[in-house]
Structure 1
């Protein structure tokens, strides 16, 4: 019975670690997306998007 309880505790701890890692990964993804959106908006507002298109062409 002790082995069963230990296995259950291990499984619960593992599941909690997985949930925590998933929350942290989601937070990192949101932060990266927010930064990318901010940079894109800044580039567009300052006309840098046109400079990049002229320098590197479209679709690159």
Structure 2
């Protein structure tokens, strides 16, 4: 397989993965989706806070 054929195959796979969008359009769509996932981020923050508090409690108990 020549380099040109490999490049063409890679380009077709990239276009299929992007669903017909350009790279810029895909980046914008992903950025919007991340920005709109406010509930998911809030849940992750709460979960991390819970874990941190449990870890702190365990460390305080081990220090006694």
TM-score, structure 1 as length reference: 0.48
Length-normalised TM-score, structure 2: 0.45
